[in-house]
Amino acid sequence: MTETKKTTTKKVVPAKIDRLSGNETFTYKDKNGYEYKYTLQFPGMVKAYEMLDNATMANGIISKAVLMDEYFKNVVVEPRNLTLDKFDELPGAEELYQAIDSFLGEKMSD
């Protein structure tokens, strides 16, 4: 008696990637306990790479000041018109930079 094995083939479909949805809120708390809230939005793959290109100097090193300004202008959607210069009077620039960098890294890695 011969046995026949029934095999089923599972159809593999491509993964759906939706990088543009899902804003994230970063909250920075100063030494007095005041909370600064920043809404981060992914600017798209082209803009993300353009920001890195714009911040890369001729020697291949990334200018952190230029990249921070690019991040604040293109990723932070609330508060509006945030620039690195505004952090002369605000705390948390480095922490916000790190949060944006992590946010973009996660969005770009899929």
Number of domains within the chain: 1
Q: Report the number of secondary-structure helices (H) and strands (E) in the chain.
A: 3, 3
In one-letter notation, the amino acid at residue 30 is D
What is the rounded distance in angstroms from the CA atom of residue 107 to the CA atom of residue 90?
27
* Residue 2 falls inside a structural domain: no
In a domain, 71, yes or no: yes
Residue 110: its pLDDT value, please? 67
- Is residue 65, in this structure, part of any structural domain at all? yes
In a domain, 81, yes or no: yes
Residue 6 lies in a domain: no
Residues of the chain with pLDDT under 70: 1-2, 4, 7, 110
Please tell me the distance from the alpha carbon of residue 21 to that of residue 77, in angstroms, as a whole number: 13
Asked if residues 12 and 22 have their Cβ atoms less than 8 Å apart, the reply is no
pTM: 0.82
From the number of C-beta atoms within 10 Å of its C-beta (0-12, 13-18, 19+), residue 71 rates as buried
> What percent of the chain is modeled with pLDDT above 90?
78
Is residue 8 assigned to a domain? no
Radius of gyration of the chain (CA): 21
